Amino acid sequence: MQPGDTIRLSASNNLADLPTLQETVRDFLERRVVPAEVIYNVCLAVEEILTNTIKFGYADALPHEIAVNLTLSPDEALLVIEDDARAFDPQTAPKPDLTLPVEQRPIGGLGLHLVRSLSSRITYRRQNDRNVLELRFRLPINLPLTDA
Amino acid sequence: MVQSTQKDGSLVFQFSGRLDTMECARIEGEVAQQAQAAGQPVVFDLAGVDFVASAFLRLCLGVQKKALGNPLTLVNVSPPIKKVFKIAGLDKLVAR
């Protein structure tokens, strides 16, 4: 892995784009010997954030682009997701009540809860009518410094 | 992908691949319908699954809510998926 290794991807606001995007993210991380747990967490964040944006972020039926950038440094994976959907900070979504019995649990709210729990830091800003979301995932300190 | 079989008085669904948003949308209607119609305990076997998204958690919740007292149990759950269920407060559905 070279320090500051970055991949820049984009998807349209179409759920059918997600599997291919996931495969590319997974391949990028596997080639750089990122631990399986971190790969899972990054892929889950991509899935949940983009699904949420695609399903709820747009008031029109027009095509929109969502940018997904992933940068690896020795101690973290930085996922930056940028879109022109309506303003939304995932950190403000209500937390699900996990104490309720399963039969009484509401169906929604789990995706963003998972993302908040599995990332080490989340930063959101609204910039030029765009959502810019940064999610950081800590890497173990003994990551090898060369490609596999 | 999913297949269902009868085993030891339970309806067993064997899932495989990645249970992401698209896949869950594709299978959840059929799974929920079969599970509700079965009137017996339901088992989700995740031996062939390496990824679940929150859509699968919602599928499980939906099945459990309509189970009319019959338990839903998940078996052969890999450690990262167990962790997802634990974070979601749904680890009670996962067999030890």
Domain containing B68 equals: 2-93
If you count them, how many residues does chain A have? 148
Identify the pLDDT of residue A142: 62
How many beta carbons lie within 10 A of that of residue A139, not counting itself?
A: 19
User: In this predicted model, what pLDDT tens digit does every residue of A51-61 receive, in sequence order?
Assistant: 999 999 999 99
Identify the pLDDT of residue A88: 96
Contact A114 B88 (CB under 8 A): yes
Q: Which of A131, A37, A126, A113 is nearest to A77 (CA)?
A: A37
Interface residue ranges in chain A relative to chain B, Cβ cutoff 8 Å = 15-16, 18-19, 22, 36-37, 40, 43-44, 47-48, 51, 96, 98-99, 102-103, 105, 107-108, 110-111, 113-114, 117-118
What phi and psi values does residue B63 have, to the nearest 5 degrees?
A: -65, -45
CATH number at residue B31: 3.30.750.24
**CA within 13 Å, CB half, B73:** 12
Residues from chain B that touch A17, judged by Cβ atoms under 8 A, are: none
Is residue A135 within 8 A of residue A68, CB to CB? The reply is no
Q: How far is B6 from chain A (nearest CA, A)?
A: 24
pLDDT in tens, chain A (148 residues): 555 699 999 999 999 999 999 999 999 999 999 999 999 999 999 999 999 999 999 999 999 999 999 999 999 999 999 999 999 999 998 888 888 888 788 877 899 999 999 999 999 999 999 999 999 999 987 655 555 5
The domains of chain A, with CATH numbers, are 5-138 (3.30.565.10)
Q: Which of A7, A12, A91 is nearest to A50 (CA)?
A: A12
Q: For chain B, give the percent of residues with pLDDT over 90.
A: 86
Identify the pLDDT of residue B69: 79
Q: How confident is the model at residue B94 (pLDDT cuts 50, 70, 90)?
A: very high
Single-letter amino acid code for the residue at A131: N
Q: How far apart are CA A67 and CA A93, in angstroms?
A: 22
Is residue B52 within 8 A of residue B27, CB to CB? The reply is no
User: In this predicted model, what pLDDT tens digit does every residue of A70-84 receive, in sequence order?
Assistant: 999 999 999 999 999
Identify the pLDDT of residue B84: 97
Q: How far is B79 from chain A (nearest CA, A)?
A: 9
DSSP-derived letter for residue A62 is S
Tally of structural domains, chain B: 1
Cβ contacts below 8 Å, chain A against chain B, sum to 63
Single-letter amino acid code for the residue at A138: R
Q: How far is B88 from chain A (nearest CA, A)?
A: 7
* Per-position b or e across B47-68, b if 16+ CB within 10 A of its CB: eebebbbbbbbbbbbbbbbebe
User: In this predicted model, what pLDDT tens digit does every residue of B17-65 receive, in sequence order?
Assistant: 999 999 999 999 999 999 999 889 999 999 999 999 999 999 999 999 8
